[in-house]
Structure 1
Amino acid sequence: MNRPKTRLNCPCGEAMKGTDEDDLVQKVREHLKENHPGHDYSRDEILFMAY
């Protein structure tokens, strides 16, 4: 079984950490909305970039 991906580093330098994959996806979407309007990614795209 694969380990859940709970961390993602945005190219702007922001490091995000979630308690699980759902939490991480929510935090990344909030970060994008606040800091990078117009940059929307699917759950799969976010988790592809996460580790």
Structure 2
Amino acid sequence: MKTQLNCPCGEHLTGADEDELVDNVRKHLTENHPGHDYTRDQILFMAF
């Protein structure tokens, strides 16, 4: 299970599970990188 992702902006994002990680990444993108939308699969591909 992947629960961490490092955004290129330097932010380290985490979640208790993959669902929470995807939610946290999407929230981060909305707040900090408007217009950058990724699918769940794309987010999990970049996660570790």
TM-score band, normalised by shorter chain: over 0.9
1:8 is displaced (CA, Å) by 0.1
1:8 maps to which residue?
A: 5
Unaligned runs of 5+ in 2: none
Q: Percent identity?
A: 71
Q: Hey, what's the Cα distance between the residues in 1 that align with 2:14 and 2:23?
A: 10
Unaligned runs of 5+ in 1: none
**1:1-51 per-position Cα deviation (integer Å, ceiling 9, x unaligned):** xxx000000000000110000000000000000000000000000000000
TM-score relative to the length of structure 1? 0.93
Query: What's the C-alpha RMSD, in Å, of the aligned pairs?
Result: 0.2
Amino acid at match of 2:5: L
1:23 maps to which residue?
A: 20
